[in-house]
Chains A and B, each alone.
Chain A
Amino acid sequence: MSELIPGQPGAPAAESRAGAPADGSGLMVRAEQVHKSFGSLEVLKGIDLEVRAGEVCCLLGPSGSGKSTFLRCINHLEKINAGSIRVDGDLIGYRERGGRLHEMREKEVAAQRRAIGMVFQRFNLFPHMTVLGNVVEAPVLLGREKKAAARERAAQLLERVGLGDKLGAYPGQLSGGQQQRVAIARALAMRPKLMLFDEPTSALDPELVGEVLDVMKDLARDGMTMIVVTHEIGFAREVGDTLVFMDGGVVVEAGDPREVIANPQHERTRAFLAKVL
C-alpha cells in the first residue's frame, strides 16, 4: 500500500503505485455489459470498460450520454440492471455464492465504497465542518484511524493540495477551486485504490481550473488509478492513459488519448471534439 503523502520525490514509481490488484490480472476496474435504466429510460446500454491499476482513464461524451450514471454505478450509488462491475477483482454490490448472485447489505456496500474515492462536480463539502473536519470525518467515524493520527494525516493531505493554511476555514469561505481541492483531500483520506472524478472542474471559474487539474496530475504521477469524466481535452492528452468516448449510453470509441483526439475514427467523436476543442 502506498502512502499518499508528500515528500517522496525520489521514491521509485513502483513503490508509489496505489494498490496492486489482488487477482493478478492487473485490472483495477472491469465493467462488462453494464445496463442501467431509470424507469423506461435506458441510460446505459451495455458498457464495457477495463482500467488497469495505475492508469488514468478519461471519459468524454456529450451531456446526457450517461457518464455520471456510469461513474455512480462503479461505487454502487446506482444499482445496475444487467452486467457486472468489478473493482480490484471484487464484484460491486453483489456476492457470488453457489452460482447465484446475492445482493449485499447496506453495511457491506458501504465497506466497498471506502476503497473508492469520488469527487463531484459541485464539491459537496460538508458546510458545517471546517476544512480539517471535512477530511478527518470519515476516517475517524469509520474507525480507520485514531483522531490524532487522522488529523495529522489530514493536515499533510491538505498541505499536499496546497491548502495547508486553510485548516480552520469553512467551505463557504473558500473559492471553488479551493473547495474542490479539499474534496480531493477528503476522498484521499480514506486511502482509496481508485478515484472517480465527475467533471471536477466544470463548476469552476476558468482561472481556477488549473489548480485542480494540477492536483489531479500530481495524483496520477503518484500512481493513483483514476477515472475522470472531463471536458478538459488538454488534461486527457497530457495525463490520460486511455480515452473513452461515450454517446447515447454506449462506448463509441476508446484508445490512446493522443490518437483519438488527433485522429477520431467515428463521426460522433469527431463532431464532439470539434465542439469542445
Chain B
Amino acid sequence: MESHDTSTVRARPEPLRAVPVRHPGRWVAVAVLAVLVAMFVHLLVTNAAFNWSFMADKMFRPPIIEGLLRGTVLMTVSAMLIGVTLGVVVAVMRLSDNPILRGVAWLYTWFFRAVPRLVLLAVFGNIGILWSRIEFGVPFDTQLGQLFGIDNLNLRLFGFSSRDILTGFMAGLLGLALSEAAYMAEIVRAGIQSVDEGQTEAAQALGMSRGQLLRRVVLPQAMRVIIPPTGNETIAMLKDTSLLLYVPVSVELFFQLDAVGKRTFQIFPMYVAACLWYLFLTSILLVGQYFLERHFGKGYGPAGRARLRLRGMAAETGGGGNSGTVGPA
C-alpha cells in the first residue's frame, strides 16, 4: 500500500486576484515615439535634399558594384584571412617560452592597437615615399662594400618599383590585415588560455611537441572561445573598409559613392546610399554570426549537443553492460 501524498489531499488554493501594476509611462513613450517616427518619415518623403530617384539611379552603377565586390567584400575576406592567420602566429609567439618571441609579439600588438586604423591606412598609403623601389638581397650591401673599399657594391637579387606592388589595394590590405592581426592575436590568446591546463599536460605526457599539441589539442578546443568575437571582428572589418578612402583605394564602395557625390554635387544622397549598402552587407553578416554563435557559443551549442545525444543513445542501446571487465583474464 502506498501512503497518501499530503499535497494531493489538500485542496488547491484559490487563484490570487490582484489588480496588475499599470504602466502609464509606456503609453506616453509610445505616443512620443509615434510622433517622432511620423516626423522622420515626413522628412524622408518631403525633403528634396534626399533626392531619392537620383540615389536609386546611381547606387547600382557598375563602378559602384565593382567597388563593393572588390574593395569591400574581397578586401574584408582577404584582410580577415591574413589577420586571423597572422593573429594565431602572434598569439602563439606571445605565449611562447622564448622571451624574444614574447617581446616581439608584445611590441607588435602594442603598436598596431595603439595607432588608429585611419592613421595607419594613411601611412601605408604613402609608404612609397620611403622607397621608390623595394628590393631583396643582402642587407646593408653598400655600407658593407665601403667597409671593404668597394664602391657601390650591389648584392640585390630582384626588386620591384614600389608603385607596382604597393598599389592602393595592396597598401590598404596590408594596413587592415596587420592591424586586424593585432586584435585577433588577443582573441586567440584568450581562447588558448581558456583551455584546461590538463589538456596540455596529457598531450605532453603522450610525447607531443608544443606545435603538435597546439594544432591537434589546444586550438580546436579554443575555437569555441575564438569564433564568436571573430564574427564581431569581421563585421567591424567590413565597416572599416570605408576607411580605405584615405589610402586611397579607388575600387571601393565608399570611395566610389563619395566620388559620384562630389562630381554631381549630390553628396548627401550618395552618403545615404552608403548607409543603405553597409546596412545591407552587415545585416547579412549578422545573420551568419547568429548561426555561428548558436553553434559555437556555449558548450557544444544546441545543434552539436543534439548530435552528441543521438550518438550517445546509439552507443547506449548498441552495447550492454560493460563495467570493469578486463579482456579474457
Are A162 and B202 neighbours in the complex by a CB distance under 8 Å?
A: no
Are B326 and A218 neighbours in the complex by a CB distance under 8 Å?
A: yes
Are A120 and B202 neighbours in the complex by a CB distance under 8 Å?
A: yes
Are B209 and A107 neighbours in the complex by a CB distance under 8 Å?
A: yes
Whether B328 is near chain A, meaning CB under 8 Å from some CB there, is yes
Are A137 and B216 neighbours in the complex by a CB distance under 8 Å?
A: yes
CB distance from A115 to the nearest CB of B (A): 8
Are A218 and B329 neighbours in the complex by a CB distance under 8 Å?
A: yes
Are B202 and A124 neighbours in the complex by a CB distance under 8 Å?
A: yes
Contacts of A9 in B (CB 8 A): 328-329
Bound-state CA distance A141–B322 (Å) is: 29
CB distance from A30 to the nearest CB of B (A): 20
Query: A58-66, A81-89, A169-177: which one contacts chain B?
Result: A169-177
Whether B214 is near chain A, meaning CB under 8 Å from some CB there, is no
Are B212 and A210 neighbours in the complex by a CB distance under 8 Å?
A: no
Are B210 and A106 neighbours in the complex by a CB distance under 8 Å?
A: yes
Also in contact, A173 and B207, with CB within 8 A (given A122-B198, A126-B217, A161-B326): no
Within 8 A of A (CB), among B290-314: 308, 311-312, 314
Are B308 and A120 neighbours in the complex by a CB distance under 8 Å?
A: no
Are B324 and A118 neighbours in the complex by a CB distance under 8 Å?
A: no
* B307 to chain A: closest residue by CB: A170
Are B308 and A159 neighbours in the complex by a CB distance under 8 Å?
A: no
Whether B41 is near chain A, meaning CB under 8 Å from some CB there, is no
Bound-state CA distance A167–B326 (Å) is: 16
CB distance from A169 to the nearest CB of B (A): 5
Are B325 and A142 neighbours in the complex by a CB distance under 8 Å?
A: no
Are A214 and B324 neighbours in the complex by a CB distance under 8 Å?
A: yes
Whether B315 is near chain A, meaning CB under 8 Å from some CB there, is yes
Contacts of A211 in B (CB 8 A): 323-325
Among candidates A126, A165, A183, residue contacting B199 with C-beta atoms closer than 8 Å: A126
Bound-state CA distance A128–B196 (Å) is: 13
Are B327 and A218 neighbours in the complex by a CB distance under 8 Å?
A: yes
Whether B221 is near chain A, meaning CB under 8 Å from some CB there, is yes
Contacts of A166 in B (CB 8 A): 315, 319, 322
CB distance from A145 to the nearest CB of B (A): 13
Are A186 and B198 neighbours in the complex by a CB distance under 8 Å?
A: no
Also in contact, A173 and B315, with CB within 8 A (given A161-B326, A162-B325): yes
Most interface-central of B196, B206, B311, B324 (chain A CB within 10 A):
B206
CB distance from A77 to the nearest CB of B (A): 6
For the side of the interface on B, what is the size category? 20 to 34
Bound-state CA distance A111–B205 (Å) is: 10
Most interface-central of B199, B208, B326 (chain A CB within 10 A):
B326
Interface membership of chain B positions 141-162, coded 1 if the CB is closer than 8 angstroms to chain A and 0 otherwise:
0000000000000000000000
* A183 to chain B: closest residue by CB: B202
Among candidates B212, B216, B314, B326, residue contacting A162 with C-beta atoms closer than 8 Å: B326
* B326 to chain A: closest residue by CB: A218
Are B207 and A113 neighbours in the complex by a CB distance under 8 Å?
A: yes
Also in contact, A111 and B207, with CB within 8 A (given A127-B221, A218-B329): yes
CB distance from A179 to the nearest CB of B (A): 12
Are B205 and A113 neighbours in the complex by a CB distance under 8 Å?
A: yes
Whether B204 is near chain A, meaning CB under 8 Å from some CB there, is yes
Also in contact, A165 and B315, with CB within 8 A (given A116-B205, A138-B207, A190-B206): yes
Are B206 and A187 neighbours in the complex by a CB distance under 8 Å?
A: yes
Among candidates B202, B208, B320, B324, residue contacting A142 with C-beta atoms closer than 8 Å: B208
Among candidates B205, B216, B221, B312, residue contacting A173 with C-beta atoms closer than 8 Å: B312
Are B318 and A165 neighbours in the complex by a CB distance under 8 Å?
A: yes
Contacts of B205 in A (CB 8 A): 75, 77, 113, 116-118, 187
Bound-state CA distance A255–B220 (Å) is: 46
Are B329 and A221 neighbours in the complex by a CB distance under 8 Å?
A: yes
Also in contact, A169 and B315, with CB within 8 A (given A124-B199, A177-B324): yes
* B197 to chain A: closest residue by CB: A124
CB distance from A172 to the nearest CB of B (A): 7
Among candidates A6, A138, A164, A173, residue contacting B308 with C-beta atoms closer than 8 Å: A173
Also in contact, A168 and B210, with CB within 8 A (given A7-B328, A9-B329): no
**30 pairs, CB–CB < 8 Å, chain A vs chain B:** A7-B327, A9-B328, A75-B205, A106-B209, A110-B204, A113-B206, A113-B207, A114-B207, A116-B205, A125-B202, A142-B208, A142-B212, A161-B326, A162-B324, A162-B326, A163-B322, A165-B318, A166-B315, A166-B319, A168-B315, A169-B315, A170-B312, A173-B308, A173-B315, A177-B323, A186-B206, A187-B206, A214-B326, A215-B326, A218-B326
* A interface residues (Cβ-Cβ under 8 A, vs B): 6-7, 9, 75, 77, 106-107, 110-114, 116-118, 120, 122, 124-128, 137-138, 141-142, 159-166, 168-170, 172-173, 177-178, 183, 186-187, 190, 210-212, 214-215, 217-218, 221
Query: In the complex, given contacts A162-B326, A165-B322, what are 4 additional A-B residue pairs having Cβ atoms less than 8 angstroms apart?
Result: A126-B203, A160-B326, A168-B311, A173-B311
